[in-house]
Amino acid sequence: MTTVSTKFKTNNAPLSHLPPLAVNPRVRGAIDLIIDELKREQASMTGARGSDSNKTEAYAAWMSRNNELRGRPTMYPYVGAGFGHGPLVQLADGSVKWDMLSGIGINMFGHSDSRMVEAAIEAALSDVCMQGHLQHNTDVLAISELLSAEAARVSRLRHCFVTNSGCMANENALKICQQKTQSAPRVIAFNDCFMGRSTTMSQIGDSAAYRQGLVQNILVDYMPFYDPAQGSRSTDATVRALKQAIARYPKQHSCFVMEVIQGEGGFNVAPREFLVALMQICKAAAIPIWIDEIQSFGRTENMFAFDTLGVGEFVDVVTVGKMTQVCACLFTSDFNPGPGLMAGTFSSSTSAYHIGLRGLEILQSGGYYGADGRIAKLHRAFRECAEDLVARRGEFFPPVVDSHGRTLPDVIGGIGAMLRLTPLGGDKDRISALLKVLFEEGVIALNCGHGPYHLRFLPPIGVMEPAQFKPVFAIIERALQRVP
């Protein structure tokens, strides 16, 4: 077994981020034996399968207790067995399902990937389980170096502050922007954005349900996101709204936070000219531009979505997370905050650093990016399967009308490995019913959008093969036939 990640360079000096025991020849031999056994066990897992009847009763009891402890039922009756094979995951009831959600984008290399298992074992040989901001090992330097270098290729971003969640990365970004603008009290954001579930981020996110009962202490001006049905008129409308907000509250905005590709909002994509028009206005008004890539990072034809859209020159602050395992806030030298603004006990676990770094290195050098990279090929394979299903089973794909009475131009959408399909007219209740049937049949997905609603797919791009969409879509077609 070849270790992918052993050294990184700082000031041209190589430095290993592996614990000393991890490079011991006898230990390496033991790790190789574990990986060989893992692959042997995985060989028979090639598709979805139903549950084991001998485990059904115990599984139901686990789920009942789980729901009681949580105080509410989970969306799916999901308790993992701790084993899988790429995009396939085994549950504790013996069933195997296609994981087209990847933990809402967390598990980019699916389940039980041998390279990630190897990285986790190496991490277990380290002296500590958790890394901190006061005391940390070379792991922190290694992943910060990779993210900073990748960002610096196409932007003015130079610094990286790691943390243990995307929501916390967003909190740090907001603090940086507020300090830079000397406590400007307002935030500009897009309609239908999602920022996380902390008290502050719940208030910026455009979902009333996520802030119900919370005291409102963040002032937000929402801008219309790009509407492909209107084209350039959509850009004009948002430009007008932005100028009006700035004129109404001059020097009162700490930032414009942009999901350049909306996640929860419906996998909506804006063209470069739309974003540039808004960013130029912000620059003229000295309003910081913060790009939220917690969900989009790594999933387009470039590692950063802002790079794919060609807007790196405008960016002041960027947040990344989910697939990185270790989340981070990146910022330019001009936005480097004063001492004390960002800190904390935990930065993340040692295993998260090792697995995150290993995954990023593979994505960076493994032919995933570019117009003909693995991600682009996955996107094309998804579209081919989706177009075939829509053409053959049009009865499941009636026109989709949005909340303004307009018909959506396409029931297939998304970008890169952020994939969307809109059956059943985008009706919320029917989409919810379909998701439950899909889970029973062997596919895990989620919804997105706020009306219409869509099926959301975040396949594990590190391991998913284009041909594997065929059995996934066979299950989708079967599930659609079961929804009333």
pLDDT digits (tens, 9 = 90+) for 108-166: 999 999 999 999 999 999 999 999 999 999 999 999 999 999 999 999 999 999 999 99
Q: What is the pLDDT of residues 427-448, one digit of tens each?
A: 999 999 999 999 999 999 999 9
Domains, in order of start, for the chain? 36-122+371-484 (3.90.1150.10), 130-365 (3.40.640.10)
Percent of the chain residues past pLDDT 90, beyond the cut: 89
The closest alpha carbon to 180, from 344, 343, 331, belongs to 331
Place of tokens 């909340």: 403
The closest alpha carbon to 110, from 123, 96, 124, belongs to 96
Q: How far apart are CA 381 and CA 383, in angstroms?
A: 5
Q: What is the pLDDT of residues 183-202, one digit of tens each?
A: 999 999 999 999 999 999 99
User: In this model, does residue 1 exceed pLDDT 60?
Assistant: no
> Collapsing DSSP states into helix, strand and coil, what is residue 182?
coil
DSSP 350-395: HHHHHHHHHHHHHHHHTT-SSTTSHHHHHHHHHHHHHHHHHHH-GG
What the block records as the tokens of 346 is 């935990």
pLDDT band, residue 2 (cuts 50/70/90): very low
The closest alpha carbon to 161, from 354, 372, 367, 339, belongs to 339
Q: How far apart are CA 152 and CA 312, in angstroms?
A: 9
Using DSSP bridges, classify how beta strands 418-421 and 412-415 pair: parallel, antiparallel or unpaired: antiparallel
Percent of the chain residues past pLDDT 70, beyond the cut: 97
* Residue 373: half-sphere exposure toward Cβ, Cα within 13 Å: 21
**Which residues does 101 contact at the CB level (< 8 Å), separation at least 6?**
444, 445, 446, 456, 457, 458
Burial zone of 4 (CB within 10 Å; 0-12 exposed, 13-18 middle, 19+ buried) = middle
Q: How far apart are CA 116 and CA 98, in angstroms?
A: 19
Name the residue type at position 341: L
> Collapsing DSSP states into helix, strand and coil, what is residue 274?
helix
